[in-house]
Amino acid sequence: MRQKILFATENEGKMKEIRQILGDMDVEIQSLREAGIHGDIEENGETFEENAAIKAREIARLTDAIVLADDSGLEVDYLGKEPGVHSARYMGYDTSYRIKNQSILDRLQGVPEEQRTARFVCAIAAALPDGGLLYSRGTIEGIIGYEERGEGGFGYDPIFFLPEYGCSTAELTMEKKNELSHRGKALRQMKKMLEEYMA
Residue 185 vs 194, nearer CB to ligand ITT: 185
Residue 156 vs 161, nearer CB to ligand ITT: 156
C-alpha distances in angstroms, 99 versus 82, 105, 112, 122, 158?
A: 16, 10, 22, 23, 12
Strand 160-162 with 167-168, pairing: antiparallel
**Residue 6 contacts residue 67 (beta carbons within 8 Å):** yes
Catalytic annotation on 157?
no
Compute the least distance from the CB of residue 149 to ligand ITT, in Å.
13
CA distance 66 to 168: 34
CA distance 162 to 145: 9
Compute the least distance from the CB of residue 5 to ligand ITT, in Å.
15
Residue 134 vs 156, nearer CB to ligand ITT: 156
Q: Which residues bind ligand ITT (CB under 6 A)?
A: 9-11, 14, 43, 70-74, 87-88, 120, 153-157, 181, 183
In sequence order, what are the residues at sequence separation of 6 or more whose Cβ sits closer than 8 angstroms to the Cβ of residue 154? 11, 12, 13, 14, 97
Compute the least distance from the CB of residue 181 to ligand ITT, in Å.
6
Choose, from 71, 94, 106, 157, the residue flagged as catalytic.
Answer: 71
The DSSP string of 30-65 is EEHHHHT---------SSHHHHHHHHHHHHHTT-SS
Q: What 3-state DSSP class applies to 5?
A: strand
Residue 11 vs 30, nearer CB to ligand ITT: 11
CA distance 169 to 184: 13
Compute the least distance from the CB of residue 131 to ligand ITT, in Å.
22
Residue numbers annotated as active site: 71
